[in-house]
Amino acid sequence: MMDFERIKEIEKDHCMKVFKRSNVCFERGEGCTLYDTAGHAYTDFFGGIAVNCLGYNDPDLVKAISEQAGKIIHSSNLYYNVPQAELIDRLTRDGMFTRAFLCNSGAEANECAIKIVRKLASDSGSGRTTILTAKESFHGRTIATVTATGQEKYSAPFAPLPGGFKYVPFNDLDALREATTPDVGAIMLECIQGESGVRPATYDYLVGAYAFAKQKGLLLILDEVQTGTGRTGKFFCFEHYGIQPDIVTLAKGLGGGVPIACCLARGDAAEVLGPGDHGSTFGGNPLACAAANVVVGKLQEGGLLERVAETGDYLADQLSSKLARHKFVLDIRGKGLLRGIQLDERVSVAAVAGKMLSLGVVIGTCGHNTLRIAPPYIITREEIDDVTDKLETIFSNTNV
Ligand SMILES: *Cc1c(COP(=O)(O)O)cnc(C)c1O
């Protein structure tokens, strides 16, 4: 095996310099435990950025992928394929959404949503091409999705940016109403802003945005790339709000680690793209769909959703009972197994995450000086006890 020093040398000399990596190289995992190349074990509280929902070496996932690999990995969208049909059936069978487009990443799923808005405007001649997005949102890294992302630090260096996006403060319904000029055709939001600090939309805001969109004939697009596929204890996070968007996008957790994403739509939004309007070479390939079928199957009929809801509540209790009393803990928020702990700026979350790594725990960070927790759905109470104890120890030894 290549040694770690050589790996770091290759990265340093030849990888585009876009990633800042922690000083660890993971080699394998089992359940919620990761092992690095030196054989050290880590409890995974981040799931590869809210991706590895079944943990590591899940026997059903491994079996499905292996079996599918032995049959056919890829055939292109010029032909039918069995796992893709099964997945689309699973994602549409409750009737919430009527059509699906499968692709490979969250950004791509959002690109599909954006193209739907543009095509509807073009077909109808309405001119309603503009999409309202929230400040501090995150929608991806392609040129269009980085423009949709309401954070200049991600988009400004890549000018010229495409037009057609306007930004409104998050959780401010009046601002949304005021920004809705006749050129606006859609509102695109996250139910919980993940990258900018695990910041949930308030109930009144999301329900209000839904009602407003309906009243004005705007499409409501919910980017559930991070919150979807069961992460918050419901299959879609919007189910907590009792609303239904016209378009929803899924990605991170959908394939349990295998790259796959999806744009689901209903009504006109589902019908507007026709032959040749959109496509993807890899999108919905048999291997990726075989993986997603295992994840979605466990959520739909395997009792996994209930487990996320239950474990998520337990996690929230442990976080608040052990951590909330520290005065530099400004807020603990989130839903299900997506939680954020916002700290006073004087305590660096990167430093806390670094200390946790040295104690054998992988934990994430995000905007607004927030620790981000997004473990596999199979995380146990014992693992939660252990990790939250370690956080408590670090917090107790932190003075500001
Ligand atoms: C991660 C993320 C994306 C981008 O997904 P990629 O697969 O990295 O393209 C988009 N939207 C949200 C809400 C995300 O969390």
Across 7-25, average pLDDT:
96
Interval between CA 362 and ligand 1 midpoint (Å): 20
Residues 30-41 have pLDDT tens digits of: 999 999 999 999
- 33-36, strands of its sheet edge to edge: 26-30, 33-36, 41-44, 361-362
Ligand 1 pocket, mutate which of 131, 226, 231, 247 (most atoms under 8 A from CB): 226
Q: Where are the alpha helices (DSSP H) in the chain?
A: 4-14, 47-50, 59-71, 82-92, 106-124, 143-148, 152-155, 173-179, 203-216, 267-271, 286-301, 304-323, 349-358, 381-396
Q: Please enumerate in sequence order all residues whose Cβ is within 8 A of that of 11, keeping only pairs 6 or more positions apart, or say none.
A: 21
Q: Please enumerate in sequence order all residues whose Cβ is within 8 A of that of 261, keeping only pairs 6 or more positions apart, or say none.
A: 102, 103, 104, 105, 106, 108, 109, 225, 249, 250, 251, 254
| pLDDT beyond 90 at 361 | yes
Residues 319-335 have pLDDT tens digits of: 999 999 999 999 999 99
Interval between CA 14 and ligand 1 midpoint (Å): 25
Residues 224-264 have pLDDT tens digits of: 999 999 999 999 999 999 999 999 999 999 999 999 999 99
Residues 336-346 have pLDDT tens digits of: 999 999 999 99
Interval between CA 250 and ligand 1 midpoint (Å): 9
Whole-angstrom distance, CA of residue 394 vs CA of residue 347: 11
How would residue 302 be classed by pLDDT, with cut points 50, 70 and 90? Answer: confident
Sign of CA dihedral 100, 105, 111, 114: positive
Residues 79-95 have pLDDT tens digits of: 999 999 999 999 999 99
What single-letter amino acid sits at 261?
A
| pLDDT beyond 90 at 399 | no
Of 52-56, 63-67, 368-372, 395-399, where does mean pLDDT reach its minimum? Answer: 395-399
Tokens of 186: 């859609």
Say yes or no: CB of residue 107 within 6 Å of ligand 1.
Answer: yes
Interval between CA 252 and ligand 1 midpoint (Å): 7
Across 282-297, average pLDDT:
98
Q: Please, what is the average pLDDT of the chain?
A: 97
| pLDDT beyond 90 at 400 | no
Residue 251 CB burial class (10 angstroms; 0-12, 13-18, ≥19) = buried
Provide the whole-model pTM.
0.98
- Find the angle CA(119)-CA(112)-CA(338) to the nearest 5 degrees: 140
Closest residue to atom 11 of ligand 1, CA basis: 139
